Structure 1
Amino acid sequence: MDDWGKIRQLFSAGQHSKREIGRLVGVSRGTVDRALESDRLSKYQRAATGSSFDAYATQVRVLLAVTPRMPASTLAERVGWLGSASVFRDKVALIRPEYVPPDAADRLVHEPGRQVQCDLWFPHEPLPLSHGQEGMPPVLVMTSTFSDFFQAIMLPSRTTSDLLGGIWSLLQAAGAVPLRLTWDNETGIGKGKLTERTAAFAGTLGTEIKLLKARDPESKGMVERRNRFFRSSFMPGRHFASPQDFNEQIADWLPLANARHSRSRRARPIDLIEQDRAAMRPLSPVPPDVLFHNTVRLPRDYYVRVLSNDHSVAPAMIGRLVDVTASLDTINVTHNGMNVSSHEREWARALTVTDPEHVGQADVLRRQFQSLRHHRPQPTVAFVETASLASYDRLFGVETGTELRDLDVVA
């Protein structure tokens, strides 16, 4: 390499002939000519020699012509190969494309406002949920296929009401509804068929919720890649005090992530989202029903169970039917349309959530009940006069007293 560079350097200076250059470098005139004719440094190349595979190549080609996708291990067995398995696989991989027809794939063109892919992502590290519990709640991720703009929010659970509540929350933040929301077979959304509540949700918004076939991650590859992006770019070095803290941190980070340049789109998602949302539908004037609903008769212990947790209710409603609703943030109990109790939504599970005011109200009602029971007046027995039946005996001429005495004598 040094000789080649020195030869070209001396010749470019124009002060020496080729013969002098050869003498100065210590090479022949022919070597000088070859160095000047080549633009690249010459390197040693070993002459090609035959391979042990060559003796089996014809048989392999005959088998591939009939069965192009026959595994290399089966081919080796059929032709009697006794050499290295890796060498055989490499040789077969070189000639197999000549017999397998190419599997062409068209490039997808995504129209503005057409589709948003949805998926759930789970943090790989647990975070505090309150009351000493930890967990990894699901994170709803929604990615637009046109702009690659994405949104995310952590949810308390994977129930239908929480999933629909999360979708509605992100759509409200976007201010628009795409023509289609794509989901895989998430139980809360539907498996093979949308749940009744999900179908009603889609109808209210005027959109389509498309369920993909099982084991088909490529159909929502954009949102799947976002899940890996969260793991590699958002999570490292972060600590979360609660799910609310997680949502606050991810809300601050999302504008930065959406401002990154997309190589495939040759633009930033934040620059394309306006065109994307302009082609979407406006939000429905009637908000969809995304709340958890239940109607129960309040028992004596004045607690109702809502999504694995027990919550106290005003004890004055004991024995009455109450309507329980739960959103992502709050739990409300109403009776005849009037709110009687409210609680903040807890992310931990198997809790008993008690309002101190309800305990005080129950104590007052209990003392009132006991006071009424101790001072209750004693019941009186009414005297009812009964008529003598002897008048009926005289009316029908029955002498019961004489007959009974005669019967006693006979007995």
Structure 2
Amino acid sequence: MLSVEDWAEIRRLHRSEQMPIKAIARRLGISKNTVRRALAASEPPKYVRKPAGSVVDAVEPQIRALLASGMPATVIAERIGWTRGLTVLKDRVRALRPQYQPVDPVSRTTYQPGELAQCDLWFPPADVPVGGGQVARPPVLVMVSGYSRWLMARMIPSRQAHDLIAGHWALLSGLGAVPRALVWDNEPAVGSWKAGRPALSREFESFRGTLGVKVVQLRPRDPESKGLVERANGYLETSFLPGRVFASPRDFNDQLTDWLTLANGRHHRRIECRPVDRLGADQAAMVALPPVAPVLGWRHQVRLGRDHWVRVETCDYSVHPAAIGRLVDVVADLDNVTVTCAGQPVARHERSWAPHQTITDPAHAEEAARLRRAHLGIVRQRGATTEVEQRSLANYDRIFGVDIEEVA
């Protein structure tokens, strides 16, 4: 057999040195036919052993006859009286079975740029200090773009509609665009299925109208339809969470933001590239952010009483006492609670993630104390200058018929 070295030398002499076949055969001491075969071969020569056959070859016709009925390999072995090892028989059955089964290819879900983002709430199994000596496990809003696999996440105070919508806006504002559809399961704040039909909540219907996109509600108990975000939840729990300690929800979000930058720059096996490499095309096909931001946060109007605190969910926040008796507007977003009166701010507090807290601004308490002192001074001054008529005690003696001299 011609060696690889001789094959390479023959081709070099013929192609580079322009040596004729007869001269090559004379120099290398081989026949001219060998030289011709080497020049005609496009690949180097290699030794190929002639197949020796298998003990299964003799029973292959029987195997084929039984495979038509869909028998497993163990039953086939019993039917043909197989007494040797099962491994070699199973290998032959595995190679022959596709010829006797109908073709059943699986489907592959693909997404177009800007088509959709899957959304879900992840509840991390980690205690986060929320103030007031309390710890909690607030939800994390997770969104994954279908085309680029761009992962976004943020911890929010609660799963109520106003916090959920504010979380959406925070993530989409950071993305700079809006996917044409948001895929959700039956989260109560988003909507539910009624009489076999999906129905969005009023708050989410207004939010999607402002964005100009569609919200797809999945049927109950159908997690497979949003597998991207379900896998992202698992990725967060196994890659981001282990070994981390959090000082507050803000610290949690800061650490999460830094980690997401790394995660979106890692190679994604399914798309064979990094999410950041596809992000540009994804954003270009999305819907632009609305020119006016949607109405966000928890809002209500109340007339401020002498107890100059307003309640947001379960917490009370102080308001400047100058607004007592007037209508005030209360707005609570993900980070702050703001109170205005006739368009002027009268209170601003960092939102408390701990329930049942009373948050008081020292300036509000000081002004309230000053106003109370001033009010008490006015009352005392009025009491000092007011003359009150005093009835003579002798009048009572006459009424009851008491003679003081006789008693004495």
- Which string of whole-angstrom CA distances, capped at 9 and with x for unpartnered residues, describes residues 281-311 of structure 1? 1111011111210111212221111121111
Tell me what 2:366 maps to: 360
**Does 2:164 correspond to 1:158?**
no
Tell me what 1:176 maps to: 177
Equivalent runs, 1:270-285 vs 2, <5 Å: 270-285=276-291
2:142 maps to amino acid: V
Cα RMSD of the aligned pairs, angstroms, is 3.1
Gap change, CA 1:291 and 1:38, over 3 Å in 2: same
Tell me what 1:130 maps to: 131
Deviation at 1:38, TM superposition (A): 7.8
Gap change, CA 1:37 and 1:210, over 3 Å in 2: closer
Gap change, CA 1:250 and 1:372, over 3 Å in 2: same
Equivalent runs, 1:3-402 vs 2, <5 Å: 105-192=106-193, 193-374=199-380, 375=382, 378=386
* Whole-angstrom CA distance in 2 between matches of 1:202 and 1:316: 39
Query: Tell me, what secondary structure is at the counterpart of 1:310?
Result: strand
1:121 maps to amino acid: W
* Whole-angstrom CA distance in 2 between matches of 1:286 and 1:169: 14
In the superposition, the TM-score normalised over structure 1's length comes to 0.67
Query: Tell me, what secondary structure is at the counterpart of 1:334?
Result: strand
* Whole-angstrom CA distance in 1 between matches of 2:103 and 2:361: 68
* Whole-angstrom CA distance in 2 between matches of 1:37 and 1:268: 44
* Whole-angstrom CA distance in 1 between matches of 2:171 and 2:265: 18
Gap change, CA 1:186 and 1:340, over 3 Å in 2: same
Query: Tell me, what secondary structure is at the counterpart of 1:324?
Result: strand
Deviation at 1:240, TM superposition (A): 1.1
- Which string of whole-angstrom CA distances, capped at 9 and with x for unpartnered residues, describes residues 189-233 of structure 1? 222322212111111111112221111101111000000001111
Query: Tell me, what secondary structure is at the counterpart of 1:191?
Result: strand
Gap change, CA 1:361 and 1:172, over 3 Å in 2: same
The number of aligned residues is: 300
Query: Tell me, what secondary structure is at the counterpart of 1:166?
Result: helix
2:231 maps to amino acid: R
Query: Tell me, what secondary structure is at the counterpart of 2:200?
Result: coil
Query: Tell me, what secondary structure is at the counterpart of 2:337?
Result: strand
Gap change, CA 1:265 and 1:131, over 3 Å in 2: same
* Whole-angstrom CA distance in 2 between matches of 1:44 and 1:339: 91
Tell me what 1:73 maps to: none
1:221 maps to amino acid: G
Identity of aligned residues (%): 46
Gap change, CA 1:253 and 1:37, over 3 Å in 2: closer
Query: Tell me, what secondary structure is at the counterpart of 2:246?
Result: coil
- Which string of whole-angstrom CA distances, capped at 9 and with x for unpartnered residues, describes residues 305-334 of structure 1? 112111111112222221100111111001
Deviation at 1:371, TM superposition (A): 2.5
Query: Tell me, what secondary structure is at the counterpart of 1:128?
Result: strand
1:317 maps to amino acid: A
Structure 2: where are the runs of 5+ without partners?
A: 1-47, 60-68, 71-93, 194-198, 390-408
